[in-house]
Amino acid sequence: MVQTDSKCQHITVHTVTQSSPCPILSCVAKAPKHARVSLIPVADSDKSTCNQPSASNVFQDVHISARLMEEFLELARENTEKDLETCGVLGAFLEKGIYYVTTLIIPKQESTSTTCEAIKEEEFFAIQNERSLFPVGWIHTHPSQSCFMSSIDLHTHYSYQAMVPEAFAIVMAPTDVSRSYGIFRLSDPGGMRVLKECEETGFHSHGEPADGSPIYEHCSNVYTNTNLRFEIFDLR
């Protein structure tokens, strides 16, 4: 049930009441009249990685709105200024062999300058289930670090990619002058096998995959789509 309706920059903001979870913030962005679909460019430092065999070459494509990433960064601004990470969960629907990311859920979370852990997961699971969404990945900030996947990030992402092979991780690094964001996945089967067999926690090093592939790589099957309408649920 929509209780209030106000303007938040260029998106409409609603306060929504649901039986579970409690009141949340939902931002609904309207799609432009003309769609434009673009492959997300790869930074020069990643080009050698993309030449490696990638499971994304055979997996289904994913479309996401660049504005969704921008809005997430804006919602994370307060934490970023305090040098605290922020994370969110991405939900998508599947149509004609393409995943369309239409929902960003920012869960309640506990953060430090180098980690971010979602809590009360049942709240964002409820939203995903109600909308029949696939958990195609997650997004988080590196407020003062460069754009890369830490060992903790890799373990977090493993659970997503084990559920949905097309799952990807977006790292937003606003202070990295060489690359402000990256979209990554574990190499498959190499990186996936390394993470499956690793029992360590916290920050630690990983051995190289036996097949010689990098442990993670840039996604080559993720496209920005200007015609996507999306919602943002901020549960914090």
Give residue 167's pLDDT.
Answer: 97
Domains in the chain and their CATH numbers?
32-228 (3.40.140.10)
- What pTM was estimated for this model as a whole? 0.80
Q: Which residues of the chain have pLDDT under 50?
A: 1-27, 29-32, 42-57
Q: To which residue do tokens 């209780």 refer?
A: 3
| Tens of pLDDT, residues 47-100 | 334 334 444 347 899 999 999 999 999 999 999 999 999 999 999 999 999 999
Give residue 56's pLDDT.
Answer: 39
Structure tokens that stand for 116 in this block: 């971010």
Give residue 40's pLDDT.
Answer: 61
Crossing angle (nearest 10°) for helices 151-163 and 190-197: 110
Give residue 36's pLDDT.
Answer: 62
The Cα-based distances of 163 to 77, 79, 168 in angstroms read 30, 29, 11
Give residue 23's pLDDT.
Answer: 39
Question: What's the number of CA atoms in the CB half-sphere (13 Å) around residue 215?
Answer: 18
Give residue 41's pLDDT.
Answer: 58
Give residue 16's pLDDT.
Answer: 37
Give residue 62's pLDDT.
Answer: 96
